[in-house]
């Protein structure tokens, strides 16, 4: 169900995406989301961006043949859940294939995560650290 597809992720991130408020489907969302329709030819493809805490209602993508939905995490953190199963975390690069006729929901994590940039690390300070020491970070 969940795979990492770096080539798809990188190709997607290089595209030009213009988001607009998701008014068309807003009644099916709790919170604010933004929609950029990328393609409607053969396979409908859209970028849907969720504000923190935003999620959609439980739903099903009906199809007699084929169908379903593909989720690709491109930024931030989110959640996906099929009925009767535990929620699955979505991170950048996460790919989830949802078969047709499967009841599910998806949305953003509750909290915003962002960097707060501070002062630069000076050249003098940077050059002064680690002289003669070799330390490697290991998880």
Residue 40 maps to which CATH number? 2.60.120.10
Q: Give the predicted TM-score (pTM) of the model.
A: 0.65
Mean pLDDT, consecutive 10-residue stretches, the chain (139 aa), reads: 53 59 83 83 81 94 87 92 96 93 95 80 87 60
Tell me which residue range forms the domain holding 10. 2-128
Look at residue 80 and tell me if it is in a domain: yes
Look at residue 138 and tell me if it is in a domain: no
Look at residue 59 and tell me if it is in a domain: yes
Question: What are the start-end ranges of the E strands in the chain?
Answer: 2-4, 20-21, 29-30, 33-39, 45-50, 55-56, 69-72, 78-82, 88-90, 94-98, 104-108
Look at residue 139 and tell me if it is in a domain: no
What is the distance between the terminal CA atoms of the chain, rounded to a whole angstrom? Answer: 26
Q: Give the pLDDT confidence score for residue 117 in this predicted structure.
A: 86
Look at residue 112 and tell me if it is in a domain: yes
Q: Give the pLDDT confidence score for residue 26 in this predicted structure.
A: 84
Look at residue 100 and tell me if it is in a domain: yes
Q: Give the pLDDT confidence score for residue 19 in this predicted structure.
A: 67
pLDDT digits (tens, 9 = 90+) for 89-110: 999 999 999 999 999 999 999 9
Look at residue 7 and tell me if it is in a domain: yes
Look at residue 39 and tell me if it is in a domain: yes
* Domains of the chain: total: 1
């Amino acid at each position: 169900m969940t795979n990492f597809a770096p080539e798809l992720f990188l190709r997607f991130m290089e595209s030009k995406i213009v988001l607009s408020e998701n008014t068309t489907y807003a009644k099916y969302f709790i919170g604010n989301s933004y929609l950029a329709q990328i393609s409607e030819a053969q396979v409908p493809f859209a970028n849907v961006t969720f504000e923190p805490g935003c999620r959609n209602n439980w739903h099903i993508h009906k199809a007699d043949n084929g169908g379903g939905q593909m989720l690709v995490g491109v930024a931030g953190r989110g959640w996906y859940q099929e009925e009767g199963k535990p929620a699955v975390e979505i991170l950048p690069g996460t790919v989830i294939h949802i078969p047709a006729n499967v009841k599910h929901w998806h949305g953003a994590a509750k909290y915003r995560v962002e960097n707060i940039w501070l002062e630069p690390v000076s050249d003098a300070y940077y050059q002064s650290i680690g002289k003669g020491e070799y330390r490697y970070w290991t998880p």
